[in-house]
């Protein structure tokens, strides 16, 4: 009614202008009325009115599984393509006379891959956001290769529910956080919130997805893009009931062992958020069970358990004589502009001290023990523009190779060192020399802000592939009769060098491997473990010739060490019988 009233008023004023006797004041009124109408028409909504919970439906469960293809491979008129259900993006490139392919498809997004020796597949990565997604493209025709990219890390969503939390709205300011009903996707890290009139936009710097929404009177029309590729559109309305997230059932148990007591406790939520339990003995899978909708195909967030994988990469590089020894100073691997940070004590920080968390730097994870308080570099380096400088500017609190304190800055420097001695892209070296040899292709790696693989943690592997990695170490560096790591490196990795002083249990520590002792029937059993926040464990038990994998989602409830209870109370007694 207000708009009609304004139009009528303006019309009457305009009609009056044909009289030559109209005065200047009336002309001014006309201008003012027109300006008011224009302002009303384009007036942007106040984001305070949209600060609420919103929900909608994703159109189909495989919408985020994108087809990827290379056509005319090996020819001058080659094309790299990414398909959504809506459209495709085409990126022509010259593919002649090169087995290495790199195609940028955004400011910080690209595909890179290597043609296999038999020319039947291309193994490579899509770099999007902070992630390297491994992609395998298989030959479908003479010069065509195709594969799929699961940008949300699950091949098919178990729920099509999509939620949006709009927060802190005021005028043009807001924050917005997408949440999926399928919580096996570990979530977005959104930023760059913008508003112009009735349009909003924001981005996820983890996956590289971009969100664009149109604000309407009682809904939000949201579009999700990858660069300029429209993936899906979702109509959002305000939520009137609580969101339904997770709660999925898994029905894919494979087992020789009978672990009914464990399964009952998990089903009753007495051992909450357990996602998978796998057990192998003598190289044979004897128990495999998944919970909360997880399956053998879903890569799990390993958090710091992937530090142990970083250790393997260092071992492979040493086995290949890409550096002299673990006694080399970290400064042997750093560019000249960082040499000014070297002093007589810091020059003694060597590869071995970084592998054993004993660099002596105040690079400590103080969150692992509430009794320790410090403004440590562990809390600050990832927020800085120059991670290397921030870490190496940190004061020394111990001599190198004397005292161990757990943290992520030490393995981060290992990644910098390995990148300096490896001639090819570090991610391709990791894939070709470790994961391809273990027949692992469904995985994702986190990067640092420079786009390099992050050695401090954050890989995504499925539970079966975690088991393969544990068996590689149990078998002294061999997998299916193939040598991947030297036996010496495995033995050195599993030594108990010193105690982690900042851990509650004062665990022993090897080359980014934890030590622990469990008890059954009054006897101790030694375990060497990869561990990650939330309860991601690979137990390697040489005395029992066994590997156990447990994945979990206990990130905020204080139960991150729950897999140790599961192993000691409900698995170890069966293995000892």
Looking at residues 58-70, what average pLDDT do you find?
Answer: 97
pLDDT of 20 reads 38
Tokens 């529910």 belong to which residue? 161
**Percent over 70 (pLDDT), the chain:** 90
Per-residue pLDDT band at 377 (split at 50, 70, 90): low
pLDDT in tens, 205-231: 999 999 999 999 999 999 999 999 999
Looking at residues 548-573, what average pLDDT do you find?
Answer: 97
pLDDT at residue 83 tops 50:
yes
| Token digits of residue 63 | 């919408």
| Token digits of residue 88 | 């495709």
Q: Residue 211: exposed, middle, or buried by beta-carbon count in 10 A (0-12, 13-18, 19+)?
A: buried
DSSP state of 298: S
pLDDT at residue 407 tops 50:
yes
pLDDT of 365 reads 72
pLDDT of 379 reads 54
Looking at residues 503-522, what average pLDDT do you find?
Answer: 96
Residue 515 pairs in a beta bridge with: 528
Neighbouring residues of 104: CB distance < 8 A, sequence distance ≥ 6: 91, 110
* Helix segments in 356-462, DSSP class H: 387-392, 409-421, 426-430
| Chain mean position to CA 325 | 31
pLDDT of 1 reads 32
**Percent over 90 (pLDDT), the chain:** 84
| Token digits of residue 300 | 């799990």
H/E stretch holding 124:
strand 121-128
pLDDT of 374 reads 43
pLDDT in tens, 467-484: 999 999 999 999 998 999
Q: What is the mean pLDDT of the chain?
A: 91
Tokens 């926040």 belong to which residue? 533
pLDDT in tens, 12-32: 333 333 333 334 444 454 454
pLDDT at residue 350 tops 60:
yes
pLDDT at residue 562 tops 50:
yes
Answer with the residue of higher pLDDT: 380 or 265: 265
Looking at residues 279-291, what average pLDDT do you find?
Answer: 97
Measured CA to CA, the distance from residue 557 to residue 567 in angstroms comes to 19
pLDDT in tens, 231-246: 999 999 999 999 999 9
Looking at residues 83-103, what average pLDDT do you find?
Answer: 92
Looking at residues 354-358, what average pLDDT do you find?
Answer: 98
Neighbouring residues of 496: CB distance < 8 A, sequence distance ≥ 6: 508, 509, 510, 515
Look at phi and psi of residue 172 and say left if phi exceeds 0, alpha if psi is from -120 to 50, else beta.
alpha
pLDDT of 21 reads 38
**Dihedral Cα 408, 414, 416, 422, nearest 10 deg:** -150
Looking at residues 167-186, what average pLDDT do you find?
Answer: 97
pLDDT at residue 182 tops 60:
yes
pLDDT at residue 37 tops 60:
no
Measured CA to CA, the distance from residue 309 to residue 430 in angstroms comes to 10
Answer with the residue of higher pLDDT: 567 or 22: 567
- What are residue 36's phi and psi, to 5 degrees? -65, -40
Looking at residues 549-565, what average pLDDT do you find?
Answer: 97
Tokens 């009289």 belong to which residue? 19
Answer for the pair 97, 115: CB distance below 8 angstroms, yes or no: no
DSSP state of 542: G
Least confident of 53-57, 150-154, 377-381: 377-381
**End-to-end alpha carbon distance in the chain:** 82
| Token digits of residue 337 | 């502009």
pLDDT of 382 reads 85
The widest CA-to-CA distance across the chain, in whole angstroms, is: 110
Measured CA to CA, the distance from residue 104 to residue 110 in angstroms comes to 4
pLDDT of 27 reads 47
pLDDT of 381 reads 87
Map residue 220 onto helix, strand or coil.
strand
Q: SS3 sequence, 188-210?
A: CCEEEEEEECCEEEEEECCCCEE
List of E strands, 419-511: 443-446, 460-461, 478-479, 482-483, 498-499, 508-509
pLDDT at residue 8 tops 50:
no
Angle formed at CA 508 by CA 502 and CA 509, multiple of 5 degrees: 90
Per-residue pLDDT band at 363 (split at 50, 70, 90): confident
């Amino acid at each position: 009614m207000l708009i009609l009233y304004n139009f009528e008023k303006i019309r009457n004023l305009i009609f009056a202008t044909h009289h030559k006797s109209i005065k200047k004041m009336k002309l001014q009124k006309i201008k003012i009325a027109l300006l008011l109408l224009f302002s009303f028409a384009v007036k942007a909504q106040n984001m305070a009115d949209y600060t609420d919970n919103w929900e909608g439906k994703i159109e189909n469960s495989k919408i985020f599984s994108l087809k990827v293809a290379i056509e005319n491979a090996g020819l001058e008129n080659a094309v790299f393509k990414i398909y959504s259900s809506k459209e495709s993006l085409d990126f022509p490139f010259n593919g002649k006379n090169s087995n290495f392919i790199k195609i940028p498809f955004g400011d910080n997004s690209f595909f890179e891959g290597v043609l296999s020796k038999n020319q039947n597949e291309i193994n490579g990565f899509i770099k999007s956001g902070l992630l390297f997604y491994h992609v395998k493209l298989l030959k479908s025709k003479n010069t065509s290769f195709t594969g799929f990219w699961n940008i949300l890390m699950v091949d098919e969503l178990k729920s099509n529910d999509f939620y949006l939390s709009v927060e802190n709205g005021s005028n043009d300011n807001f924050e917005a956080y997408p949440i999926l009903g399928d919580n096996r996707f570990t979530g977005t890290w959104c930023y760059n919130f913008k508003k112009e009139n009735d349009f909003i936009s924001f981005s996820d710097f983890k996956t590289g997805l971009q969100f664009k929404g149109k604000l309407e009177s009682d809904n939000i029309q949201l579009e999700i893009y990858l660069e300029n590729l429209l993936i899906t559109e979702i109509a959002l309305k305000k939520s009137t009931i609580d969101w339904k997230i997770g709660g999925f059932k898994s029905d894919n148990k494979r087992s020789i062992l009978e672990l009914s007591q464990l399964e009952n406790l998990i089903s009753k939520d007495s051992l909450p958020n357990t996602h998978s339990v796998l057990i192998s003995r003598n190289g044979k899978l004897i128990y495999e069970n998944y919970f909360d909708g997880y399956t053998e195909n879903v890569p799990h967030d390993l958090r710091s358990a992937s530090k142990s994988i970083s250790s393997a990469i260092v071992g492979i590089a040493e086995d290949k004589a890409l550096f002299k020894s673990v006694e080399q100073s970290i400064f042997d691997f750093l560019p000249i502009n960082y040499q000014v940070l070297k002093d007589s004590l810091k020059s003694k920080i060597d590869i071995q001290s970084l592998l054993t968390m004993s660099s002596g730097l105040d690079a400590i994870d103080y969150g692992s023990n509430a009794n320790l308080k410090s403004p440590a570099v562990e809390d600050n380096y990832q927020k800085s523009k120059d991670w290397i400088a921030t870490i190496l500017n940190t004061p020394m609190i111990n001599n190198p190779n004397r005292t161990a304190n757990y943290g992520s800055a030490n393995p981060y420097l290992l990644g910098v060192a390995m990148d300096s001695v490896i001639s090819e892209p570090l991610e391709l070296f990791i894939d070709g020399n470790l994961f391809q040899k273990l027949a692992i292709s469904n995985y994702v790696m986190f990067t640092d802000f420079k786009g390099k693989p992050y050695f401090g943690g954050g890989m995504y592997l499925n539970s079966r592939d975690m088991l393969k990695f544990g068996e590689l170490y149990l078998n002294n560096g061999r997998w299916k009769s193939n040598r991947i790591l030297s036996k010496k490196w495995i033995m050195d990795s599993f030594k108990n060098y010193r105690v982690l002083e900042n851990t509650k249990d004062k665990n022993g520590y090897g080359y980014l491997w934890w030590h622990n002792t469990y008890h059954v029937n009054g006897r101790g059993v030694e375990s060497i473990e990869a561990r990650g926040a939330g309860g991601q464990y690979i137990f390697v038990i040489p005395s029992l010739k066994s590997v156990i994998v447990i994945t979990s989602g206990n990130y905020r409830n204080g139960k991150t060490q729950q897999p140790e209870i599961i192993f000691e109370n409900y698995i170890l007694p069966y293995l000892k019988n």
